[in-house]
Structure 1
């Protein structure tokens, strides 16, 4: 069966209910189902295997969780992130990666010192409360959007424009000073050609 964005024209509540029902139906049935969607959340919820297509090209195929946690390229990371993954220019230095105009993030990279990098940070990996080992990224709010039970905050920082996904409703006025926090352990690294160099550790799995 081929389902081509079957939930796209439904309201939010009905769409959420049918996603759960479809997951149960797929698990109980014996049919092969190809489910086409532009929403990463649907692919993650439905599980199985995911093929990431862009401009008619197959970029990656494999178990859904593996493709999400280890996108083989920037193109896959962009397609399989909602909101899109934050991408920041950096360069390899001894012991890690230095953001352009910003701090060094400690990580082990298979790259020569001075090599150009792109660091990727998912919106959900950024926080406003500090934890041990975090890297601080000061900035100012450019926009705050409330979507369901989350707030998407667009922040201008010295290292680039960032989008952070905060749980709950947050009233942040434009121009408000904020300091975003990120753990280096949750940062991706891509080489100059956009290929994955480093992915965050997963509990119970390899890096």
Structure 2
């Protein structure tokens, strides 16, 4: 058993509240990703779970046992750091074996465990090399193998791919996902990259300003972001936002007026909204299509056009805010020439004056 439970966990540094009353449950065998902007508290939370820093308030339990007051070495965890933390004078074998050697395990047992871990991370032929002879991705695999031999209840990973180039990060994302599937272990992974979170996580924990904004599977957060912060953070390119005013909210529809769009009737319950309320409309760039084929129609003037082959990204400006549209393929668009775009009413998100989502999508 390696489930993780945080109950009312807070961390303060003097007058600064780095984490505020975080309560969270991560199931045995789950791959959970903490994501958020720099300074949101995600790495601080990981350090509290690891026992590297003491909590100011609250409780941490692993496998049903309270570990709040235990030191890092007394917790059933293994941590993989951003900077690999390898010993340069040691071989790959000795780097992987180091935790077992410190526990004075029998040499035959150490050899067997190192061989097994090296095979899992595809380094069996590099065991006698020094870290200086390895690529960045291979060094990270050594750090992961060193964690594997400890057979921890929980793997903790603090931005382990941030030092790698884009192509290698993509490869390592796939390898870590496969590793999790093979080991079946609980993994808690910290990143500022929402693409990593979306592609790797069973559940994402979005943090902002030391607080948990939302927890859920990747596509739940994508389709039903709890608030404006999550909506703007999850998704690439990020969601577009337009200011609007409710004209009517009756039964299963809400009518909203917004600049350029005019008055549109959207298919969701308006029980939490009233005529005259200020709202924000959210539109995913990829939900837009060229032409007037959908319910909500308006025009934009591209300020820049990015042609990526598979996709074309249009950057424009709406009400002083950036506005982005993403189209498949290579449509013939030019900066400065107005285009007509449209989107299904069901794809338009509506957030109230407090930034809370009010147009929830039922099927995800």
- TM bucket by the smaller chain? 0.7 to 0.9
Contact 2:222–2:234 (8 Å) recurs in 1: yes
**Cα distance in structure 1, aligned partners of 2:169 and 2:246:** 44
> Contact (CA 8 Å) 1:185, 1:201: kept in 2 or not?
no
Q: Secondary structure at the match of 1:23?
A: helix
Within-5 A mapping of 1:130-145: 130-131=292-293, 133-145=294-306
Q: Distance in 2 between matches of 1:112 and 1:92?
A: 7
Contact 1:144 1:171 in 2 (8 A): no
Unaligned stretches of 5+ in structure 2?
A: 1-154, 249-253
Q: CA deviation at 1:159?
A: 9.2
Which structure has greater helix proportion? 2
How many aligned positions are there?
A: 202
Partner in structure 2 of residue 183 of structure 1: 344
**How far has the Cα of 1:161 moved from its partner?**
4.1
Aligned counterparts of 2:292 and 2:321: Cα–Cα separation in 1: 20
* Structure-2 separation of matches of 1:165 and 1:85: 11
Larger radius of gyration: 2
Q: Given the alignment of the two structures, is residue 124 of structure 1 paired with residue 124 of structure 2, yes or no?
A: no
**1:104 positional shift:** 2.0
What's the counterpart of residue 106 of structure 1? Answer: 265
Q: TM-score scaled by structure 1?
A: 0.86
Higher strand share: 1
- Whole-angstrom distance in 2 between the partners of 1:34 and 1:104: 45
CA drift at 1:178: 0.9
The answer to whether the 8 Å contact 1:97/1:106 transfers is: yes
For 1:201 and 1:179, the matched residues in 2 are separated by 29
Residues 1:38 and 2:202 aligned together: no
* TM-score, length of structure 2 as denominator length: 0.51
Residue aligned with 1:77, SS: helix
Residue equivalent to 2:232? 78
Q: Does 2:4 correspond to 1:4?
A: no
Q: Which runs of 5+ in 1 are unaligned?
A: none
In structure 2, what is the equivalent of residue 195 of structure 1? 356
Q: Assess if the C-alpha contact under 8 Å between 1:90 and 1:97 holds in 2.
A: yes
Deviations 1:32-88 (A, max 9, x none): 211122222222211311100112221111233222221111111112122221011
Give the 3 Å change call, closer, same or farther, for CA 76–185 of structure 1 in structure 2.
same
